[in-house]
Amino acid sequence: DGGITQSPKYLFRKEGQNVTLSCEQNLNHDAMYWYRQDPGQGLRLIYYSQIVNDFQKGDIAEGYSVSREKKESFPLTVTSAQKNPTAFYLCASTQFGTTSEAFFGQGTRLTVV
């Protein structure tokens, strides 16, 4: 079955550590996105990528980094520079274009301990 997979589902990190969240899709989608969601809040765009080896900053990119070396994969690194990383992280993918819906992974819940 085609889909988008995020791992891990739950992640605990000590302050000062970098962690990488995985996002893989087998939908052959061109575009991939990372969002952050805080309790009671909507989704805020961190980074997005339309094609391999290219990505753009979203609205809250500070303290995060990404790579897009393969079409299927768009990992997100939460660096120690991110001051408040505890949140629910969602990865999405779409076909490139104006009318495609976004498909989501099940999310990674990151907690800084």
Measure the CA–CA gap between 28 and 46, rounded to whole angstroms.
22
CB 2 within 8 A of CB 95: no
Q: Find the binder of another protein among 105, 110, 112, 113 (CB under 8 A).
A: 105
99 Cβ contact list (under 8 Å, min separation 6): none
Measure the CA–CA gap between 67 and 101, rounded to whole angstroms.
23
Contacts with another protein by CB under 8 A: the residue count is 29
Minimum CB distance to another protein smaller for 6 or for 82: 6
Site stretch for another protein (CB under 8 A), options 17-25, 61-69, 70-78, 87-95: 87-95
Task: Report the nearest approach of another protein to the CB of residue 80 (Å).
Answer: 26
Query: Could you count the other beta carbons within 10 Å of the beta carbon of residue 109?
Result: 15
DSSP 13-25: E-TT--EEEEEEE
Residues in contact with another protein, shown as a per-residue x/- string from 23 to 62 under the rule CB under 8 A: --------x-x-x----xxxxxx--x-x-----x-x----
Q: Write out the residues near another protein by the rule CB under 8 A.
A: 31, 33, 35, 40-45, 48, 50, 56, 58, 88, 90, 92, 94, 96-102, 104-107, 109
